[in-house]
Homo-oligomer: A and B are copies of this chain.
């Protein structure tokens, strides 16, 4: 127990409408139109907070998720709240849990986005986090620019400048700058106007709110390319990642943490949280039955279309379902996810249908099916083996999937000293234990 006391898991609840499983909306326990049901989201966030989870996490794309509306519809991920307005609504219905949303550096401006996250930080008392993405979807590009999706390298170059400018905006106001004592409103010595004039952006003013209670909103990233890992090593407090195997997890973990010293950061200032989709049963067969019931809800055409979208290719329907993936050209989409799927197909010798069904369940993430002890064993192994600092829990079906994890697995993790009994603080940064960056860092 002593080693557990010195290092505990950080846990996020990755929320997604009716569930991460692609067939979740067809399940008898599904919440109808979960994506735009705010009471559903408030219930999930409050449940996660009662269990002392570090954060809720929401993904985003500024577009529907699939060009073929018949399939998009089945994917059931094409309607939802815009994440920052969702976070604001959750902020006033929670008190301790971190609130992390995805936002794009390609379709926003740093001043505008930095002030919105600062606003959510004020609304929540220092619990906001920004999952920085560069947006790899063509459907998003079509909603914004006539020239289509920008190349990977160009998106990351813009993201680097975006992160620097946004950080400078947050750092333009020191703690205690706003005095507001009836005579003095502000201490001008505590204001440091930004003077960012870069290739992509200009930002030359002051943040229009007080400094965040947690210093800066927490920075989350998921980049797995070389450019993505460098950006994360330099700027991220949390990295959300996908790893199918222990070895993949260890390799990624070691690589990313090793990059940090060259950016003058301690490895412990960045928490690596792989995604995991746990299907929990009181017995192994109960867990397996839950999983099978979900897998039966995936029509082949939906699974294959989703797989094509993960691979950033237009269509896979011309290939035999029982055959292997064809050779894939590298695209400008999310390269790490393409590679993960291709690797898994080869490693486990899976057909297109098998790959499609697998990825339709956990969306490219680690799938665990078992009893609370079995699942805790697996998580504990990866935690101590330095493949993870914690996990982003992806319920297959909401609310049941999150509820099962909280009721059945969290107590098991606590018995092992692997997870907190109480929040350490009120801000997300305090609970994560990542240090408030100095101004200008």
Q: Does A79 reach chain B (CB closer than 8 Å)?
A: yes
What residues on B are CB-neighbors of A185 within 8 Å? 25, 73-74, 76
> A89 touching B123 by the CB < 8 A rule?
yes
Q: Do residues A186 and B72 form an inter-chain contact, with CB atoms below 8 A?
A: yes
CA distance A378 to B35 in the complex (A): 47
Which partner residue on chain B sits nearest A83 by CB separation?
Answer: B119
Contacts of A32 in B (CB 8 A): 180
Q: Which of A142-150, A254-262, A321-329, A382-390 lies at the binding interface?
A: A142-150
Interchain CB contact under 8 A, A146 and B202: yes
A36 contacts B210, C-beta separation under 8 Å: yes
Interface centre among A42, A185, A209 (most CB of B within 10 A): A185
Given that A107-B112, A123-B89, A202-B144 are contacting pairs, would A186 and B82 also be in contact in the complex, using a CB cutoff of 8 Å? no
Q: Does A352 contact B (CB under 8 A)?
A: no
User: In whole Å, how far is A125's beta carbon from the nearest beta carbon of chain B?
Assistant: 9
Query: Counting CB contacts under 8 A, is A440 at the interface?
Result: no
Known: A107-B112, A111-B143. A205 touches B73 (CB 8 A): no
List residues of A (82-114) whose CB comes within 8 Å of B's CBs: 82, 84-89, 91-93, 107-109, 111-112
Contacts of A107 in B (CB 8 A): 109, 112
The one of B84, B180, B209 in contact with A25, judged by C-beta atoms closer than 8 angstroms, is B180
Interface size class of A (residues with CB under 8 A): 35 or more
Q: Among the listed B26, B42, B86, B188, which residue makes an inter-chain contact with A88, where contact means beta carbons less than 8 Å apart?
A: B86
Binds B, one of A61-69, A216-224, A330-338: A61-69
Please give the distance in Å from A369's CB to the nearest CB on chain B: 24
A23 to nearest B CB, angstroms? 11
Chain B residues with Cβ below 8 Å from A123 are 38, 81, 85-86, 89
Most chain B beta-carbon neighbours within 10 Å: one of A42, A85, A108, A146: A85
A139 interfacial contact with B, CB 8 Å? yes
Kindly list chain B residues whose C-beta atoms are within 8 Å of the C-beta of A204.
Answer: 142-143
Instruction: Determine how close the nearest CB of chain B comes to the CB of A386; give it in whole angstroms.
Output: 37
Over the window 203-244 of chain A, the binary record of Cβ atoms lying under 8 Å from chain B Cβ atoms (1 yes, 0 no) is: 111101110000000000000000000000000000000000
Contact digits for A25-63, partner B, Cβ 8 Å, 1 yes 0 no: 110001011011010001000000000000000000111
- Tell me the nearest residue of chain B to A35, going by C-beta: B209
Is the beta-carbon distance between B186 and A69 smaller than 8 angstroms? yes
- Chain B residues near A134 (CB-CB < 8 A): none
Cα distance A407–B133 in the bound complex, in angstroms: 49
Query: With A and B bound together, what is the CA distance between A33 and B125 in angstroms?
Result: 14
The CA-CA distance from A324 to B19 in the complex, in Å, is 66
Please report the C-alpha to C-alpha distance between residue A30 and residue B30 in the assembled complex, in whole angstroms. 48
A80 within 8 A of B: yes
Asked whether A33 and B180 contact (CB < 8 A) given A69-B188, A85-B85, A205-B143, the answer is: yes
Q: How far is the CB of A68 from chain B (nearest CB, A)?
A: 9
Give the CA-CA distance A85 to B101 in the complex, in Å: 13
* Chain B residue contacts of A118, Cβ below 8 A: 82
Interface code A115-150, partner B: CB below 8 Å = 1, 0 otherwise? 110111011000000000000000100111110000
8 Å CB interface, A159-217 against B: 178, 180, 182-186, 188, 191, 197, 201-206, 208-210
Partner of A184, one of B30, B72, B73, B183: B73
Tell me which residues across on chain B come within 8 A of A119, comparing CB atoms: 81-82, 85-86
List 4 A-B pairs, minimum CB-CB distance, nearest first: A73-B186, A88-B88, A73-B185, A82-B119
